[in-house]
Structure 1
Amino acid sequence: MNTSIFEFLAARRSVKPDRLAAPGPTPEQLQQILTVGARVPDHKKLTPWRFIVFEGDARKSMGEVFAKACETEESQPPSHVRLELERGRFLRAPLVVAVVSSIKPRPGAPEWEQILSAAAVCFNTCLAANALGFGTSWITEWIAYSKTVREALGLKESERIAGFIYMGQPMEKPDERERPIVDALITEWPA
């Protein structure tokens, strides 16, 4: 058993986006991260996912999309404070990667398996970034479900945001959180 990998996985922890500082991954590191992130189970080799990268000013311009979505989709006019929060959403970390679940109709490759593959990409991307010393947070938030945001990103009807992965330098080691008692989650099938 490779003890160092086991210890790495046992200690892995998400870092809140506003606790991620610059610098983010270099282009070469991001290439490594996404290459490893894409090494997941993929029934029928369909690659039912893709990446959208936001860094630099692209994070700010996406914030304008979020503010517009908020104004358009909320039942009550949003406050100035709320709009500023939305404008700064992607500015919380130096780099954000959207993982898009992109279903490819194919006999023998159920949609659910393709969605699970995209989720595996999200987590594997986090692990790859963590292995290079970056903190990560895989979240969706309301923006992943917004019609305005989906349109701005050019998502097809068959595509969904599997997650936004925020990356950067952790400002501090995150506190450990309560974990489930695994024994309570195990059922053994009788012989």
Structure 2
Amino acid sequence: MREVVGNAKPIYKNRFSFVWDYRRDETWLTNLSTRGLHLNRPGFMRYRFEYEPSVRYEYRMDYQDAMNAKQLEEYCDLYADAGWEYVGTCVNWRYFRRPHLEGETIELYSDKESIRSFYRKLQKTLGVLALANVAILLVNSSNWLGGWSGEGWIATFIGAVILFQLLCTLLLGYGVLRFQRLIQHHTD
């Protein structure tokens, strides 16, 4: 990973997005690169960039399960052989870049089976998170209905937590459905 060069101060940008919008995140990063801002540390809603107007990159993101150092090195070497530079990781998302070549767009996954496998992995992760949220939601709901409902601020707090968990569960379920549509779109 490249660090900030010389005395240049890092530039931070905040961005909130959903997992299914990763393509928009790639486009955002690539567009910032056209203005000389190059990602050098991805983060959760906060990204660090360096300014270098003489180069332009294309960015791609890949989602992989947790890896040990050796696995990560082998994985990054595989992409390096294809011309991709590893930038960093945030919440199992791996960020890669390569110099921009006018009129040429290269994807990390090019065949339909690899794309479907990638989408299934994301769908499975969202599904597991949704099921875990449902379990916690049920426990909190039973506690709220079973005794905490009349205790003033505790009832209000638990009610807010239940509402938040319900919204998270619905959002995760929506993500599962979005990836199902993408999987079907890439079916032979």
Q: TM-score, normalised by structure 1?
A: 0.24
Greater relative contact order (Cα < 8 A, sep 6+): 1
Q: Which has the higher helix share?
A: 2
- Higher CA-based Rg: 2
Q: TM-score, normalised by structure 2?
A: 0.24
